[in-house]
Amino acid sequence: MIELDNVSYGYGDKLLFSGLSLALEPGSFHFLTGPSGAGKTTLLRMCYADLPAISGQVRLFGRDAAALDRDAVAMTRRRIGVVHQDCQFLDHLSVAENIALPLTVADRVAEAAGNLPELLSWVGLGPQAGQLPPSLSGGERQRAALARAVIMAPDVIIADEPTGNVDDDMSQRLLALLVELNKMGKTILIATHDLPMIRALKADVQARVLRLKDGQLVQAGAAL
Ligand SMILES: Nc1ncnc2c1ncn2[C@@H]1O[C@H](COP(=O)(O)OP(=O)(O)OP(=O)(O)O)[C@@H](O)[C@H]1O
């Protein structure tokens, strides 16, 4: 579904990684760990065509990301739901309107109306649907961001620190939602520092844990 083949990336003259390869098979579950600043967000951005590789090839659903025109990039991104680290919302729109935004922008308003109640109840935000985003707690924001990422029924969900700034219970709740999505066949890639959460989840899901450090991507050992 998503393949990085021998890719390199850096900012300015600072190379973050080079010769890095990764393949996300359909229905797989991957965690990406590593120290702060190792390049996890950068790597995720390459996986949804938000950054081009300096060298090597990124293939999204079998197509070379570098060869996609603007429309093809937009179509490709619809198949990838992204939960960003900072969970930004439009503060003048309600929680429900924010979650529905990807469908509204794609002119699929009727679909949004049909899907929203079930989605809001799935993430446990029914009561908050009419509120404005600034009134949400950290965990509620994360769940709203997850709902917004899945409203287009993407094949792949990429989440950057989805459990940052939430307590353990909320972290478990968010992860249970991601596991549920994986059991429905979605391909999941999560960047996280939260090793206890990975350990807790390993019994529920067959996940590969990758560690990015010093420009190298390696599979984390069994001791994790
Ligand atoms: N747009 C940018 N311009 C210049 N440098 C950047 C840019 N984005 C990120 N960096 C730098 O690249 C490095 C990797 O950043 P990145 O956000 O990918 O790391 P990370 O592993 O996700 O970090 P964290 O775990 O703290 O979120 C950092 O040193 C960061 O300061």
- Which residues are paired to 143 by β-bridges? none
Strand 80-83 to 156-160 pairing = parallel
Write out pLDDT tens, residues 25-57.
Answer: 999 999 999 999 999 999 999 999 999 999 999
32, 40, 84, 192, best to mutate for ligand 1 pocket (most atoms within 8 Å of CB): 40
Asked if the model's pLDDT at residue 10 lies above 60, the reply is: yes
Q: What is the value of ipTM here, to two decimals?
A: 0.96
Write out pLDDT tens, residues 74-111.
Answer: 889 989 999 998 889 999 999 999 999 988 888 777 77
Q: Name the 3-class secondary structure at 155.
A: coil
Position of tokens 């010093």?
Answer: 214
Q: Which residue has the higher pLDDT, 47 or 219?
A: 47
Closest CA to 33 of 201, 169, 204, 182: 201
From ligand 1's centre to the CA of 72, what distance in Å?
27
